[in-house]
């Protein structure tokens, strides 16, 4: 089933947000660490250092973006 045309640009924007978050984590961005801690259950109680050392895959960044927008998962956001 194809996405509604009005939804496609928004989804593309959210995909780009997730990619930026993923890159920001890899680059050592403290704001990215805070976003991950706030919205990624596996790292919710982690220290900034633990988050920095954690491998954060793109799928994790997508989950963070989905949760920031009120969805339980990336598939539910889509």
In the block, residue with structure tokens 């990619």: 19
Tell me, letter by letter, the H, E, C secondary structure of 27-54.
HCCHHHHHHHHHHCHHHCCCCHHHHHHC
Domain boundaries in the chain? 8-77
- Determine the pLDDT at residue 8: 53
- Determine the pLDDT at residue 9: 58
**What pTM was computed for the model?**
0.86
| Percent of the chain scoring above 70 in pLDDT | 88
Residue 45 has phi, psi (to 5 degrees) of: -100, 10
pLDDT tens figures, 21-45? 999 999 999 999 999 999 999 999 9
- Determine the pLDDT at residue 32: 97
What's the mean pLDDT in 11-25?
A: 97
What's the mean pLDDT in 1-19?
A: 74
């Amino acid at each position: 089933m194809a996405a509604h045309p009005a939804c496609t640009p928004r989804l593309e924007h959210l995909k780009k947000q997730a990619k930026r978050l993923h890159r920001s984590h890899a680059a050592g961005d403290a704001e990215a660490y805070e976003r991950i801690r706030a919205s990624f259950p596996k790292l919710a109680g982690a220290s900034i250092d633990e988050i920095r050392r954690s491998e954060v895959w793109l799928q994790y960044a997508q989950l963070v973006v989905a949760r920031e927008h009120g969805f339980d998962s990336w598939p539910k956001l889509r």
